[in-house]
């Protein structure tokens, strides 16, 4: 039976200053090997839920359990459960400086591994010299690949992918999907949640569908 990576228990997030619930006592379990496609109408709360799972926004009530324990060591949790947005945040500087950034944080116990990154870039047909390139000169697709590599080099357990390829061209979409697939295949104790308005993409890359509506989730069908 797959291990439970994250248990989201009775999670409620109210619109600040109101009693209107964006997430309403929501329950969801993310297990090892899960490739979850999170779907729902625009404004249904997909981003709100992903950010709540990543512990990036305060919630009104509820509990997050990671690998059996309530989340309390936030820096460690943020390294293991990583949220990626459609428009990646890059700091001014080279690709290498952006990739080294997480290792400058005291919570990070692993070290920067340039040869592993070079292998990943070369697997995507990009030369090692990209590490010296200014991020401002990268295409949107290349920036998103750098953001994904910046996350997966930390060996996270769960990636929360919020419309990650919405503004990318077909080649960059293919590369992003390939890299996520490669990361998933690298260990069993991994999972992702992926939101997209592209149902063909969700069919392609995810294994089960979770639908959010009215602050709660339902799981209508298995798609693998
Ligand atoms: N701090 C806030 N105050 C008020 N309303 C908020 C706040 N945060 C989110 N909302 C509202 O909550 C709803 C859910 O937003 P969210 O971005 O999570 O939806 P979504 O499903 O990701 O949408 P989309 O598919 O368009 O990206 C929206 O109506 C949004 O305006």
ipTM: 0.94
Q: Is 224 a member of any domain? A: no
Q: Is 204 a member of any domain? A: yes
Tell me the pLDDT tens digit for each residue of 64-90: 999 999 998 888 899 999 999 988 889
Q: Is 152 a member of any domain? A: yes
Neighbours of 166 (CB within 10 A): 16
13 lines ligand 1 (CB under 6 A): no
Q: Is 39 a member of any domain? A: yes
Tell me the pLDDT tens digit for each residue of 170-205: 999 999 999 999 999 999 999 999 999 999 999 999
Query: Looking at the predicted structure, is the pLDDT value of residue 223 above 60?
Result: no
Measured by CA distance, the residue closest to atom 11 of ligand 1 is 43
**Distances 105 to 100, 111, 164 between C-alpha atoms, Å:** 10, 11, 25
Q: Is 223 a member of any domain? A: no
Dmax of the chain from CA atoms? 53
Q: Which domain holds residue 120?
A: 4-218
Site to substitute for ligand 1 among 26, 38, 46, 84, most atoms within 8 A of C-beta: 46
Number of domains in the chain: 1
Question: In this structure, what CATH number is given to the domain that contains residue 49?
Answer: 3.40.50.300
196 lines ligand 1 (CB under 6 A): no
Q: Is 143 a member of any domain? A: yes
Q: Is 91 a member of any domain? A: yes
> 2 vs 152, which has greater pLDDT?
152
Q: Under a CB-based contact definition with an 8 Å cutoff, are residues 98 and 150 in contact? A: yes
What single DSSP character describes residue 3? P
Q: Is 55 helix (H, G, I), strand (E, B) or coil?
A: coil
> Residue 2: its pLDDT value, please?
66
pLDDT band at 107 (very low <50, low <70, confident <90, very high): low
**Would residue 184 be called left, alpha or beta, if left means φ above 0 and alpha means ψ between -120 and 50 degrees?**
alpha
Would you give the distance in Å from CA 186 to the centre of its chain?
16
Site to substitute for ligand 1 among 19, 45, 160, most atoms within 8 A of C-beta: 45
Q: Is 88 a member of any domain? A: yes
Tell me the pLDDT tens digit for each residue of 83-93: 999 888 899 99
Distance from the alpha carbon of residue 59 to the mean position of ligand 1, in angstroms:
14
Tell me the pLDDT tens digit for each residue of 135-149: 999 999 999 999 999
Taking the CA of residue 40 as reference, the ligand 1 atom at the shortest distance is 21
């Amino acid at each position: 039976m797959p291990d439970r990576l994250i248990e989201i228990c009775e999670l409620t997030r109210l619109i600040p200053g109101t009693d209107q619930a964006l997430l309403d006592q929501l329950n969801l379990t993310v297990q090892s090997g899960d490739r979850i496609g999170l779907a729902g109408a625009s404004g249904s709360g997909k981003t709100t839920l992903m950010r709540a799972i990543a512990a990036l926004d305060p919630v009104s009530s509820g509990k997050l359990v990671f690998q059996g324990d309530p989340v309390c060591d936030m820096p460690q949790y943020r390294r293991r459960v990583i949220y990626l947005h459609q428009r990646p945040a890059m700091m001014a500087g080279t690709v290498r400086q952006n990739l080294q950034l997480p290792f400058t944080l005291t919570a990070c116990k692993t070290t920067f591994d340039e040869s592993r990154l070079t292998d990943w870039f070369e697997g995507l047909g990009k030369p090692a010299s990209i590490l010296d390139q200014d991020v401002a000169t990268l295409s949107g697709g290349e920036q998103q690949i750098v953001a994904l590599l910046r996350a997966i080099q930390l060996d996270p357990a769960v990636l929360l992918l919020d419309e990650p390829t919405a503004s990318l061209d077909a080649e960059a979409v293919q590369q992003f999907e390939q890299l996520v697939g490669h990361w998933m295949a690298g260990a069993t104790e991994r999972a992702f949640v992926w939101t997209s308005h592209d149902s063909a993409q969700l069919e392609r890359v995810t294994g089960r569908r979770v639908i959010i509506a009215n602050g709660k989730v339902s799981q209508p069908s298995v798609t693998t």
